[in-house]
Structure formats: structure tokens, C-alpha cells
């Protein structure tokens, strides 16, 4: 079953992600792809995540396909203008890549090439419109294509942002621009996420809740102090502290699994997107503890 069909079937869908390496040694990346094969419904491939230069997402998506895993091509607007974005989308289409996640992208100042010139010719809503146009046989300028694309396009939303209103406005714009599914930024407050979902359910889109593993109380405090739109409740920080340094990571895995189990049992959303961030080998453990495998 394809990722699109799985979402539309009502199945509780699970996606994870793989970060291409900075260099040509892909042995560990291949290991992670094989580890997640048959366990997740699709695998996101990040696009120069955090503005750090790495192997391009499209190449890794092709490798994932060759290993029997359906990829989701992440595409940011930071590094390419509208010509480059459309060209890459056409290229991805003929390589058999069917899913694309449209993102604006972190600024270059967040990465390892701070002198690079950011492009941002378009942003995520416009990129969604571009994908929709290519699917309908025309480029952004209205020129006819010799063969249309057939992408299942998605976007990102931050459900725990404060204030939430700007996110809701952008969410609606993305839906109108053609988004069919959303993968959220990390959520830690399930009750607050429920409030967002009561709003999101008014729209014909699928929502995958973002799950980021907390490695320690220090990581949780760092998120609260430095990552806008994401808030780790104090009770989770206290739980991690109580576990001590040796058991903090295992406790973080338990928290992630507990949240996934609640999201599924209460039918709160359509699935989860697990972001292990360098701990891809822990994804099957989380899924097993959550009762998914």
C-alpha cells in the first residue's frame, strides 16, 4: 500500500526520517533505511537540514526506492529559485518519487555555510501551488508541460505555537494551495494538540503528529529556551530528571511511545512522524513500546 493509500484508508500511519550524510559514505544511512524497511509507511529525506550542506534529498530518495522504502522528498525554498525547484520536481517525478513535503527552510545562518546567499524566491505556500500546477500539467508561468507530475504533496504546521493564530492562518493557506497532508513540528502537550486537531478536522487533510525523542531534561530545557513554537511541559522535564542520567534516554523513548499510543487509541490524528534525530535505530524500539509492531 502506498503512503497516500495508507493515509486515505484510515490506517494509523507512521513515518520517520533519514538525514543524508555530509559526505559520500552512505553505509550508516543504508543501514537505517534497511532497519526501517517494512516498519514505517514512508521515510522522509531531509533537504540540507538546519542549512547544513549534505547529499541532496532527491538522490537519497532514489536510494530508498531501490531498497524498497517509499520516500517523502523534503524540499525547501532556501537554496533554489523557482526554475531550480520546478526542474528538481520534474526530475524527482521521472525517478518515481511520488511524495513531496514543501517547506520554506531554515535560514543559512543556522547552518555551516553562513556566507551562502539564501534564495527564498518563493516560500512554502507558493511551492505548494507550484506542485499543484505541475500536477495539472503547467509550470508556474502557465506554460504547458509535456507530461504532468503526480505528486502527493504535504506541508508542515506548528500546533503548539503561541500565539497560535498565525499558524492557523498559514495552515489554511497551505490547504488552499493544495496540501493533502501535514507533518507537525514536535508536540509534547497532548491536550493542546487536541485543541489544534478540533480545528484541523474541519479541513480535508491528514495530520501526522511530530514526535521528537527527548534525550534528557537538559534537551527539554534547551527546546523551551531556544525553539519557538515547541514547549515541553514541566511534568515531562521532572520525569526525565527523576530518571537520572543513565535512564534519561530510555525514559524519553517511553514518553514518545506513550504519546503515540494515546494518539492512536484516542483517534486524535491520522498518524505520527517520528523524528529520532541521529537515533534512527531507536525508532523500532519506540514503535514496539507503542504497540505498533
pLDDT at 277 over 90: no
> Is the separation of the CB atoms in 36 and 69 below 8 Å?
yes
92-98 mean pLDDT = 98
Domain around 149: 3-289
Residue 68 pLDDT: 97
Residue 179 pLDDT: 98
pLDDT at 9 over 90: yes
Percent over 70 (pLDDT), the chain: 100
In whole angstroms, how far apart are CA 206 and each of 65, 131, 154, 169?
Answer: 23, 18, 9, 17
Q: What is the CATH number of the domain that holds 8?
A: 3.20.20.220
Q: CB under 8 Å to 226, separation ≥6 — which residues?
A: none
Q: What is the pLDDT of residues 56-91, one digit of tens each?
A: 999 999 999 999 999 999 999 999 999 999 999 999
CA–CA gap between residue 269 and residue 272 (Å, rounded): 8
Confidence of residue 272 (pLDDT cuts 50, 70, 90): very high
Q: What is the pLDDT of residues 13-40, one digit of tens each?
A: 999 999 999 999 999 999 999 999 999 9
CA–CA gap between residue 171 and residue 238 (Å, rounded): 33
Residue 167 pLDDT: 96
109-132 mean pLDDT = 97
82-104 mean pLDDT = 98
Taking alpha carbons only, the member of 96, 98, 3, 97 closest to residue 41 is 3
Percent over 90 (pLDDT), the chain: 98
196-203 mean pLDDT = 97
175-199 mean pLDDT = 97
Q: What is the pLDDT of residues 205-258, one digit of tens each?
A: 999 999 999 999 999 999 999 998 999 999 999 999 999 999 999 999 999 999
Taking alpha carbons only, the member of 35, 74, 81 closest to residue 55 is 74
CA–CA gap between residue 177 and residue 130 (Å, rounded): 9
Taking alpha carbons only, the member of 78, 169, 90, 87 closest to residue 124 is 78
CA–CA gap between residue 131 and residue 143 (Å, rounded): 14
> Is the separation of the CB atoms in 36 and 283 below 8 Å?
yes
Domains: count for the chain = 1
- How many residues are given for the chain? 293
145-155 mean pLDDT = 98
Amino acid at each position: 500500500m502506498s503512503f497516500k493509500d495508507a493515509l486515505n484508508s484510515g490506517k494509523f500511519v507512521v513515518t520517520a526520517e533519514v538525514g543524508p550524510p555530509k559526505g559520500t559514505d552512505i553505509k550508516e544511512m543504508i543501514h537505517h533505511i534497511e532497519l526501517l524497511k517494512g516498519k514505517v509507511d514512508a521515510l522522509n529525506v531531509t533537504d540540507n537540514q538546519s542549512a547544513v550542506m549534505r547529499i541532496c534529498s532527491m538522490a537519497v530518495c532514489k536510494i530508498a526506492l531501490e531498497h524498497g522504502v517509499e520516500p517523502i522528498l523534503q524540499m525547501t525554498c532556501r537554496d533554489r529559485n523557482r526554475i531550480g525547484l520546478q526542474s528538481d520536481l520534474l526530475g524527482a517525478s521521472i525517478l518515481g518519487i511520488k511524495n513531496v513535503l514543501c517547506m520554506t527552510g531554515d535560514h543559512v545562518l543556522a547552518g555551516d555555510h553562513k556566507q551562502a546567499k539564501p534564495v527564498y524566491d518563493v516560500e512554502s505556500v507558493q511551492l505548494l501551488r507550484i506542485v499543484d500546477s505541475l500536477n495539472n500539467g503547467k509550470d508556474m508561468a502557465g506554460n504547458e508541460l509535456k507530461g504532468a507530475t503526480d505528486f502527493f504533496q504535504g506541508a508542515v504546521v506548528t500546533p503548539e505555537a503561541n500565539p497560535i493564530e498565525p499558524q492557523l492562518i498559514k495552515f489554511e493557506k497551505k490547504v488552499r494551495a493544495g496540501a493533502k497532508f501535514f507533518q507537525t513540528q514536535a508536540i509534547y502537550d497532548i491536550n493542546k494538540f487536541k485543541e489544534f486537531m478540533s480545528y484541523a478536522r474541519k479541513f480535508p487533510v491528514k495530520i501526522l503528529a511530530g514526535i521528537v525523542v527527548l534525550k534528557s531534561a537538559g534537551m527539554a530545557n534547551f527546546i523551551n529556551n531556544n525553539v519557538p513554537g515547541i514547549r515541553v511541559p514541566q511534568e515531562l522535564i521532572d520525569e526525565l530528571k527523576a530518571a537520572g542520567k543513565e535512564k534519561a534516554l530510555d525514559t524519553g523513548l517511553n514518553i514518545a511511545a506513550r504519546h503515540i499510543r494515546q494518539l492512536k487509541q484516542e483517534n486524535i490524528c491520522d498518524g505520527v512522524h517520528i523524528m529520532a534525530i541521529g537515533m534512527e535505530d531507536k525508532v523500532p524500539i519506540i514503535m514496539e513500546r507503542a504497540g505498533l509492531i
